[in-house]
């Protein structure tokens, strides 16, 4: 299978702190890859570099063959991000938020109408389409946030802590949504929830102090650490270093 993302020696320094240290990683096309790690592990910095928000200090990554270091405008055409906090325009309605994303991606009027309608149907937003985003519950805002990321039909989707702060029902519903996206595009998910990574991902990468400690399926990581529960495997990996 073709690689959607090829990361080579990606490094980011902030003054005297090395947030990401010489990261090498390949992510396959259509794969849902989860990046796990405690706070300060370097997950968000890695995502920021892959999304062209932050310039790497050294190294590069190719996203469907386009370099984040030298082809950032082209990379931005094929990616979409659903950031950690709910990234919606609060005073705009659900429909207007979706239209905004179509507009900033340069979709024409007809395509905007078509894609907005499609997203409203797929994410079951029809009842609330004219409601201001600020008036929605956390779960609905997060759902809108993901719909906004998908409206431009990205080849690679970054989901940064998509279910953070959601209740059990909202989280379960969002998991269903993410499951439906699997295979349609390459998805990179960062999360703090072990069960989320285990339940949704094809492969998991565990980070600590800017280093990638281990990569594999949840079953492989459990086997490597000799643990039955994935959470214990994660703890063992992070406490014990690379396996």
Partner 1 sequence: MRKMLSFANRTMKEILRDPLTMAFGLGFPVVLLLLLSIIQANIPVDMFEPSHLTPGITVFGLSFMTLFSAQLISKDRTSSLLTRLYTTPLKATDFILGYLLPVIPLCIAQAVICYILALILGLQFSVNIIWAILMILVPSFFYIALGLLCGSAMTEKQVGGICGALLTNLSAWLSGIWFDISMLGKGIKTFANALPFIHAVELERAMVLGDIKAALPHLWWVLGYGIALMAIAVFVFLRQMKKQ
**Which residues are at the interface with partner 1 (CB under 8 A)?**
51-53, 73, 76-77, 79-92, 96, 99-106, 108, 148-149, 152
Q: Which is nearer to partner 1, 7 or 151 (CB)?
A: 151
Q: Which is nearer to partner 1, 6 or 74 (CB)?
A: 74
Minimum gap (Å) between residue 130 Cβ and partner 1:
13
Angle in degrees, 0-180, between the axes of helices 168-181 and 138-150, rounded to the nearest 10: 10
- 185: DSSP letter: B
Q: Which is nearer to partner 1, 43 or 236 (CB)?
A: 43
- How many Å apart are CA 125 and CA 130, to the nearest integer? 9
Minimum gap (Å) between residue 11 Cβ and partner 1:
18
Minimum gap (Å) between residue 7 Cβ and partner 1:
17
* Structure tokens given for 103: 């507009």
Minimum gap (Å) between residue 99 Cβ and partner 1:
8
- How many Å apart are CA 99 and CA 95, to the nearest integer? 6
Nearest partner of 199 among 182, 223, 184, judged by Cα: 182
Nearest partner of 170 among 226, 91, 86, 79, judged by Cα: 86
CB 82 within 8 A of CB 154: no
CB 63 within 8 A of CB 75: yes
Nearest partner of 46 among 201, 161, 157, 210, judged by Cα: 210
Minimum gap (Å) between residue 121 Cβ and partner 1:
22
Minimum gap (Å) between residue 228 Cβ and partner 1:
37
Q: Which is nearer to partner 1, 49 or 120 (CB)?
A: 49
Q: Which is nearer to partner 1, 156 or 233 (CB)?
A: 156
Q: Which is nearer to partner 1, 141 or 225 (CB)?
A: 141
Q: Count helices and strands (H / E) in the chain.
A: 9, 10
For the four alpha carbons of 193, 199, 200 and 203, in that order, the dihedral sign comes to positive
């Amino acid at each position: 299978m073709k690689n959607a993302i090829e990361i080579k020696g990606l490094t980011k320094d902030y003054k005297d702190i090395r947030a990401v240290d010489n990261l090498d990683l390949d992510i396959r096309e259509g794969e849902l890859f989860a990046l796990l790690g405690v706070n300060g592990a370097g997950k968000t910095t890695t995502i920021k570099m892959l999304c062209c928000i932050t310039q790497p200090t050294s190294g590069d990554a190719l996203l469907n063959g386009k370099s984040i270091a030298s082809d950032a405008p082209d990379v931005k055409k094929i990616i979409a991000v659903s950031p950690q906090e709910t990234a919606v325009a609060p005073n705009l309605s659900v429909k207007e938020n979706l239209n905004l994303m179509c507009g900033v991606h340069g979709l024409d009027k007809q395509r905007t109408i078509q894609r907005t309608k499609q997203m409203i149907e797929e994410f079951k937003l029809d009842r609330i389409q004219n409601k201001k985003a600020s008036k929605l519950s956390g779960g609905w805002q997060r759902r809108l946030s993901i719909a906004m990321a998908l409206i431009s039909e990205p080849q690679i989707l970054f989901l940064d802590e998509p279910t953070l702060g959601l209740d059990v029902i909202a989280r379960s519903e969002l998991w269903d949504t993410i499951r439906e996206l699997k295979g349609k595009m390459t998805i990179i998910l960062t999360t703090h929830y072990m069960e989320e990574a285990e339940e949704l991902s094809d492969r998991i990468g565990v980070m600590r102090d800017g280093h990638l400690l281990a990569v594999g399926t949840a079953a492989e990581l459990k086997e490597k650490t000799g643990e039955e529960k994935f959470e214990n495997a994660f703890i063992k990996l992070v406490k014990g270093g690379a396996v």
